[in-house]
Amino acid sequence: MQRKFFCAQIVTSIVIILLLPASSKSAVVDPAVLAAQKQRIDVIKAVSPSVVAIFGGSGQGGGSGVLVTPDGYALTNFHVVSGAGSFMKCGLNDGKLYDAVIVSIDPTGDVAMIRLLGRNDFPVAKLGNSDTVKVGDWAYAMGNPFLLATDFQPTITYGIVSGVHRYQYPAGTFLEYTDCIQVDSSINPGNSGGPLFNARGELIGINGRGSFEKRGRVNSGAGYAISINQIKHFWDHLKSGRIVDHAALGATVSTGADSTIDVSEILEESDAYRKGLQLGDEIVSFAGRPMRSVNQFKNILGIYPAGWTLPLVYRRDEKKTKIYVRLQNLHSASELQEQAGQKKMIPDKSPMPEDKKTPRIPNPHAKPTVTPPPEKYKHLYVPKTGFANYYFNQQHQDRLLQTLTDRSDFSDRKGTWTLTGKQIDGDEFILTLADKGVGFEIGNEVFLQSLESGILVDEPPGTGGLLAALHHFRLLLSGQTKHFTDFYYLGSEPLDGKNEMVDVLVGTQTGAISRWYFSKSDLSLRGFDFYLTENSEVCTIRFEQFQTLNGQDFPSELDVFIGNRPVMKLKIERLKLETLEDMKK
C-alpha cells in the first residue's frame, strides 16, 4: 500500500514537472491580442456615457436609447416610449437620473426621438455610415436588457454583423424594418432602442427587433438594428414633434420573366404615373441604387420619409428615362394616430420562458399610474392630434417664420399687393393680390381667382392653380398663417430630389396645400409647391434671386412649372404694397 502511494507521488511529480514549461510558455499572450483587447476597452469607455437607460414615467417598463446631440436629443424605439407617457426618466452612466420628454415618433420604422433635460453638454455618440457596414464586422450592442441597469451602467454585448440590407416584414401589419443590420450580438428585451456601435465606436444602428417570436423572450442569436442612415433621412422629421410616416411609390413591382424588376400595378393619381411611369416598365434604379430584386426595392423605398422627391430610372422599349418622383404616404393620418395611441407592441414586462408564474389578467377598469411631469418642464409638452409633441413643431415654425421677418417684414402690409413686370418672352403683366381675389393681366388676357366662394381653380388654365398659389404666398409673407386650417413644420428634404437640403413648412386651406422650402445653408426661401387638392398635379414656383423692391426683399423672378414642365418665367420689376390703413383712405 505504501509502495503504491509512493509510486503515485512520483508519477504526479513527473507530470507537474513536464507541464511546467508548457504552462510558462502559454502565459505569454500575443501582443496583438492585448492590443485588440485594449482597443475594445477604450471604445466601450468612450461610448458608454452616451448610452441611455429609459424608464417610463409611471415607473413601469423601459428600455434603452442613445444621445445624439449635446442639448439632449436621443434616439430610441417607438415601442419603448409608446407606453411610457409624455415624460420619462433617463439614467446615464454618470449615475445621474434626468427628466426627458417625448419629441417625435415613427411607428412604422419603430424609431422615436426624446429629449433629455437639464443640460446642454450631454455626451453624444458619433454617427457612422451604415452603408459601409459589411458582414463579419465587429459590433457592440449596448443598453439596458431586462432593465438590469439600475445603476445606469449599460450592458455590453459583442459580436459580428451577420447580414446587411435585411428586410423584416411588418409586425402586426404595421411595423416594418427595412435595410436593417443583422447581428449576433445578444439583443434581449430591454436592449430595444439602444445603440449598435462598430469597432471604431461609431453609431451604425438602433437595436430593435430580436427573433423572439418562436424562441421565447430571450436572445436567439439573430437581432436587428435600424440603420443609422435611414434615421439620418428622418432626422429633422424626428425633431418636428410629428407622428412621421414612411414613403410609398404609388406603384408595386414584381419580378419579370428575365429577372427584371417591373411595374405590376400603378395608381393613376400617383406622381410616378404623372411623370410617365407605366405598367410593365422596368425599374433600373431608384434613389441612385440599382434594382436587382423586389426585396431590394422594398428595402430602399422604406428608408425614406413620405413626401421626399427622389430620382427613378425606368426602361421601356430599350430606352432609359430618368424622372424625379415625389413619394406619397404609406399610411393614412388616422392609421398613424391609431398606432400612436397603442400600448407597447413588444411588452418588456412579459414573463420569461422559465418563469412559471401565471401572468395576471389586467383590470380593464384600473386607472393607469402616471407620474405628473415636473412643474418646470410642463410647458415642453403640447398635445395636438397628429403630433407626438406639438411644442417642438411650434419651435421650428417660429424659427423659419422669423427668418422671413428678419429679411423683410410684411406683417403690416396686409392690404392689396400689386406686382408688375415682364414675362421672359416680352409680354407685360400685372398681378393683383387682395383679400377678395387674385387677378392676372398678361398680354391681352385676363385671369381671376375669386377668394370669396372658397373654391380654388386652375387659373391660368394649365398652371396647376398659379393664382391660388400666390394667394397662399401672400398669406405666408404677411404673417397671416392663422388663415390656414393646418400649418406645421414637416422636416427637411432634398429640394426637387437634388443635393440641396431644405426645411419645409406646410400650409393647408380649403383643401389646397402649399409646401414652402427654406435653404438649410442660408435659410433663404427657395420657392414652394402648390396643390389644388391632395392628388392634383403640382404647381411649382422657384426663386433664383432676390432684389430690393419698395424697401423689401422680394424674388426677382418667379419660375413656374406644372409637374416638371416649364410654364412661364415672370420677371418682377415693381412692387406696390398697401397696408390696411392705406385701403381705408
What share of the chain has pLDDT > 70, as a percent? 85
Are 90 and 65 in contact by the 8 Å Cβ rule? The answer is yes
Q: What is the pLDDT of residues 312-363, one digit of tens each?
A: 999 999 999 999 999 999 998 888 888 887 444 443 443 333 334 433 433 4
pLDDT at 120: 96
Partnered with residue 112 across adjacent β-strands are 76, 105
Closest residue by Cα to residue 377 from 115, 84, 193:
115
Closest residue by Cα to residue 113 from 66, 168, 146:
66
Closest residue by Cα to residue 171 from 289, 265, 79:
79
Are 74 and 116 in contact by the 8 Å Cβ rule? The answer is yes
User: Backbone phi, then psi, for 163, in 5-degree steps?
Assistant: -165, 155
Instruction: Look at strands 328-329 and 319-326 and give their pairing.
Output: unpaired
Q: What is the pLDDT of residues 14-67, one digit of tens each?
A: 444 444 455 445 568 888 888 888 989 999 999 999 999 998 866 566 789 999
Q: What is the pLDDT of residues 415-432, one digit of tens each?
A: 899 999 999 888 999 999
pLDDT at 414: 82
Q: Where exactly are the structural domains of the chain?
A: 49-116, 247-329, 395-584
pLDDT at 363: 40
Q: Which residue has the higher pLDDT, 8 or 204?
A: 204
Q: What does the pLDDT average to over 471-499?
A: 95
The DSSP secondary structure of 512-537, one letter per residue, reads EEEEEEEETTT--EEEEEEESSTTSP
- C-alpha 457/C-alpha 121 separation (Å) is 52
Q: Which residues are catalytic, by number?
A: 79, 110, 192
Q: How confident is the model at residue 383 (pLDDT cuts 50, 70, 90)?
A: very high
| CATH superfamily, with its number, for domain 49-116 | Trypsin-like serine proteases (2.40.10.10)
Q: Which of 132-136, 376-380, 498-502, 563-567 has the lowest mean pLDDT?
A: 563-567
Q: What does the pLDDT average to over 558-575?
A: 94
Segment (H or E) for 261: strand 261-266
Q: Is the pLDDT of residue 226 over 60?
A: yes
Q: Which three cell numbers stand for residue 362?
A: 389586467
Collapsing DSSP states into helix, strand and coil, what is residue 336? helix
What share of the chain has pLDDT > 90, as a percent? 67
User: Backbone phi, then psi, for 151, in 5-degree steps?
Assistant: -95, 5
Q: Give me the CATH code for the 395-584 domain, please.
A: 2.50.20
Q: Is the pLDDT of residue 219 over 60?
A: no
Q: What is the pLDDT of residues 24-33, one digit of tens each?
A: 455 688 888 8
Are 188 and 145 in contact by the 8 Å Cβ rule? The answer is yes
pLDDT at 350: 33
Give exposure, 25-54, as e/b (b: 16+ Cβ within 10 Å). Answer: eeeeeeeeeeeeeeebeebbeebbbbbbbb
pLDDT at 173: 58
- C-alpha 396/C-alpha 389 separation (Å) is 12
The DSSP secondary structure of 536-560, one letter per residue, reads SPPEEEE---EEEETTEEEESEEEE
Q: Which residue has the higher pLDDT, 36 or 377?
A: 377
Average pLDDT across the chain, whole number: 86
* Alpha-carbon Rg for the chain in angstroms: 30
Q: What does the pLDDT average to over 482-498?
A: 96
Q: Is the peptide bond before 460 cis (omega within 30 degrees of 0)?
A: yes
Q: How many residues does the chain have?
A: 585
Q: Which CATH class is domain 247-329?
A: mainly beta
- C-alpha 210/C-alpha 376 separation (Å) is 38
Q: What does the pLDDT average to over 264-285?
A: 95
Q: Which residues fall within 8 angstroms of residue 262, CB to CB, at 6 or more apart?
A: 253, 254, 255, 256, 280, 281, 282, 283
